[in-house]
Amino acid sequence: MHGRAQGHPGRSYLPSSPRLPQLTVQMTDSATLPTVYIETYGCQMNVSDSELMLGKLAASGYQPVDKPDGADVILVNTCAVRDHAEQRVIGRLGELKRHMNPNTVVGVTGCMAQRLGPQLLEQARHVSLVIGPDGYRALPELLAGARHGQRSVVVEFDSEEHYEDFQPRRTAGVKAWIPVQRGCDYRCTYCIVPYTRGPERSRKLDDVVREVRAVVADGISEVVLLGQTVNSYTDGEHDFADLLRAMGRVDGLRRVRFTSPHPNDFSDRVIAAMAEVPNVCGHVHLPMQSGSSRTLKRMLRRYSREEYLDCVRRMREAMPALSFTTDIIVGFPGETEEDFAETLSAVSEVGFDDAYTFKFSLRDGTPATRLPAELTVPDEVAGERLQRLIHLVRDGARQRNMGIIGRHDEVLVEKVSRRGELLQTRTRDFKTVLVPGDESLIGQYLDVQLTGTTGSTFTGAVIQRRRPLPLAG
Ligand code: 5AD
Ligand code: SF4
């Protein structure tokens, strides 16, 4: 998916609910539950999948733990989008040996598992399970087998699978990830995702609404709808516009976000729904990938520079204050200095508030491997372009951010900031604001005034606390 490639490396999971999981597997002699640790790499879809796996395993008698040391089961949920992501997992799998006890079962799940399949079992002798994104339903049985020495690989696609009956064990704090679509039917030539996550399929609108109502009843007021090309959502009867409007009818749901859309799937209906549904937030992450029509054509993105800019224009016409972030790849085969200059100028023209920028990474099995070798952009050239792009994005964001100091905003308190003295909060248009306060405010809404910016994040003064959230019905 286009989701933030900043990922959640090394993210670990604490049980989010004090309730004990139901026992449906045999207990160990000491009557303690077998423990499971999941480490997640990559995009939000992976984070959401880990929540589903953890929920399934908790319901099957496993106790989630937040450290790998001595866990009975260690799962590494992986990403295959860039080679770098895979190399980190390979390194991490080696490190995890230190945390294993003689009976620990190690499994690799996610896109890298799907891509490498049995090869992973050969490469890493201490791994006994390799399970692709559509294989998690069988996890409890596979783990039971693995605990008796079986090694298995599950990499079949199941174009119906949504894990509808799984109860996710949520780990995202004040917001909830809601997968609404799995897989991808685009075939962007650089991208491995269609081959690791299979064909696009959407959940039924009613199932999504039911899940969202349940998280709101649990006190969560922000959801992020997830899909590889989330705005192409269709359950046969409803499109993404219908889904957004249905979100607008959920009492107590104050913020709706989604990631990541494809520019070609922003129909007028979807744009109108975004503009008209009050809880849909004024920020969109709209992957551009390149600002050069020539490069976009080679990437098979199915839009030109002009069409991308036109999509931005249509959205701004309907929502003048909409904030944009994006993903950009530099050094795609054949990218000339002229092409890159077009990317820079498109960045300036749109005025992105942030961009996730990547050097092109050639993935085995993608159509880009068939491009002539002489089109390869040397690594130093790509590295230098990446630096120029990062500077341009940063300078543009700083300028825009300086321009809004003094603005009043409603923020949601997400957590205590990394340094521990302030609270990290988020505006509706996805800006990070650090404000004074204590952790009792987590999950609450505040009115703040933006008082300063580092260029990327803000400091804020609290003006007032919003009324407590209404109890959801
Ligand atoms: N090389 C570099 N970046 C890639 N992305 C996807 N595939 C590749 C690749 N082969 C980027 C795209 C996508 C984001 C999630 O990762 O920008 O939107
Ligand atoms: Fe996104 Fe294209 Fe990859 Fe699909 S193939 S996940 S649209 S980048």
Per residue in 33-77, pLDDT (tens digit) is 999 999 999 999 999 999 999 999 999 999 999 999 989 999 999
| pLDDT at res. 172 | 78
| pLDDT at res. 176 | 97
Q: How far apart are CA 338 and CA 433, in angstroms?
A: 37
Give yes or no for residue 19 having a pLDDT over 60: no
pLDDT tens-digit map of 243-281: 999 999 999 999 999 999 999 999 999 999 999 999 999
- Label residue 89 exposed, middle or buried (CB < 10 Å: 0-12, 13-18, 19+): buried
Give yes or no for residue 16 having a pLDDT over 90: no
The residue that leads in pLDDT, 172 or 169, is 169
Q: Which atom of ligand 1 is nearest to the CA of 4?
A: 15
Give yes or no for residue 29 having a pLDDT over 70: no
Residue of 81, 186, 360 with the most ligand 1 atoms within 8 Å of its CB, for mutation: 81
Q: Which atom of ligand 2 is nearest to the CA of 2?
A: 1
Measure the CA dihedral 382/384/385/386, to 10°: 80
Distance of CA 99 to the CA centre of its chain: 27
Strands 445-453 and 458-465: antiparallel
Element of type H or E holding 313 = helix 305-318
Residue of 201, 228, 192 whose CA lies nearest to 78: 192
Q: Is the CB of 287 under 6 A from ligand 1?
A: yes
Per-residue b or e along 423-458, where b marks 16 or more CB atoms closer than 10 Å to that residue's CB: bbbbbbbbbbbbbebeeebbbbbbebbbeebeeeeb
Alpha-helix residue ranges (DSSP H) falling in 77-221: 83-96, 111-116, 118-123, 139-146, 193-197, 205-217
Residue 138 burial (CB count, 10 A): 14
Give yes or no for residue 98 having a pLDDT over 60: yes
Give the distance (Å) from ligand 1 centre to CA of residue 292: 16
Q: Is the CB of 368 under 6 A from ligand 1?
A: no
Q: Is the CB of 4 under 6 A from ligand 1?
A: no
Q: Which atom of ligand 1 is nearest to the CA of 366?
A: 10
Mean pLDDT of all residues in the chain?
A: 92
Q: How far apart are CA 412 and CA 223, in angstroms?
A: 12
2 alpha carbon, closest ligand: 1
Q: How far apart are CA 258 and CA 280, in angstroms?
A: 9
Measure the CA dihedral 19/20/22/26, to 10°: 170
Q: What is the pTM of this model?
A: 0.92
Q: Is the CB of 358 under 6 A from ligand 1?
A: yes
Give the distance (Å) from ligand 2 centre to CA of residue 378: 24
Q: How far apart are CA 163 and CA 170, in angstroms?
A: 15
Give the distance (Å) from ligand 2 centre to CA of residue 127: 29
| pLDDT at res. 468 | 56
Helix (H, G, I), strand (E, B) or coil at 422: coil
| pLDDT at res. 440 | 94
Give the distance (Å) from ligand 1 centre to CA of residue 80: 10
Are 202 and 234 spatial neighbours (Cβ–Cβ below 8 Å)? yes
Secondary structure in 3-state letters for 345-366: HHHHHHCCCEEEEEECCCCCCC
Q: Is the CB of 212 under 6 A from ligand 2?
A: no
Give yes or no for residue 471 having a pLDDT over 50: no
pLDDT confidence bin for 370, thresholds 50/70/90: very high
Residue of 288, 295, 327, 393 with the most ligand 1 atoms within 8 Å of its CB, for mutation: 327
Give the distance (Å) from ligand 1 centre to CA of residue 314: 25
Give yes or no for residue 31 having a pLDDT over 80: no
Long-range contacts of 364-367 (CB under 8 A, 24+ apart): 364/115, 365/115, 365/192, 365/195, 366/189, 366/190, 366/191, 366/192, 366/195, 367/187, 367/189, 367/300
**Nearest protein CA to atom 3 of ligand 2, as residue:** 191
pLDDT tens-digit map of 184-242: 999 999 999 999 999 999 999 999 999 999 999 999 999 999 999 999 999 999 999 99
Distances, alpha carbon 375 to alpha carbons 48, 285, 334, 372, 380, in Å:
37, 29, 4, 6, 15
Residue 472 neighbours by CB under 8 Å, 6+ apart: 213, 216, 217, 251, 252, 253
Per-residue b or e along 305-325, where b marks 16 or more CB atoms closer than 10 Å to that residue's CB: beebbebbeebeeebeebbbb
Q: How far apart are CA 391 and CA 403, in angstroms?
A: 18
| pLDDT at res. 419 | 82
Mean per-residue pLDDT for 28-33?
A: 61
